[in-house]
Amino acid sequence: MTVMDRFDLTGRTALVTGATHGLGRSFAHALAEAGASIVIMGRDAAAAEEVRDEVEQRGARALVALGDVTSRTDLERIRADATEELGGVDVLVNNAGTCIHRPALEVTDDDWRVVMDVNLDGVWKASQVFGGAMVERGAGVIVTIASMSGLIVNRPQWQPAYNASKAAVIQLTRSLAAEWAPHGVR
């Protein structure tokens, strides 16, 4: 058995939130190269179509799923679509994120809420929606992208909401892992 055999995802479906740009786009490409079908979740329709084309050029099936991780309704619709089109989601990559770079005294309540809504609540909602189906099935993988900023403060890059959200994401991920491991979800 080769190393790549151990990472083979043929027959599996992976959903990547924030798949239209940056790291999410790269994750979609890598998972496609490993053989997974890809659900491309994001808000940018044009970019999602580009990622779909790139994934399909790698020989993988792809489904564009426009939606917002802060909307449970969007996530439930995407779960239903992915189940109908691709048989369900085996791997969830919680990647969508945002940051506001401002000193603490300049961060408004609205700024704070936007970062928490996407970075923390989005992970929570996506994990519940897709993780619930995984728990029922008795198998699944959830990968959550946090940041070293959840453990340290990047000086002089002031971003208190981002740092707090990523620290919370790290602990939420640990909590879900401990709770769902007995159900075959890691």
Query: Which sequence positions are flagged as catalytic?
Result: 162
Backbone angles phi, psi at 176, to 5 degrees: -65, -40
User: What percentage of the chain's residues is helix, strand, coil (to nearest 5)?
Assistant: 55, 15, 30
Classify strands 37-42 and 62-66 as parallel, antiparallel or unpaired: parallel
Within 10 angstroms of residue 108's Cβ, the number of other Cβ atoms is: 11
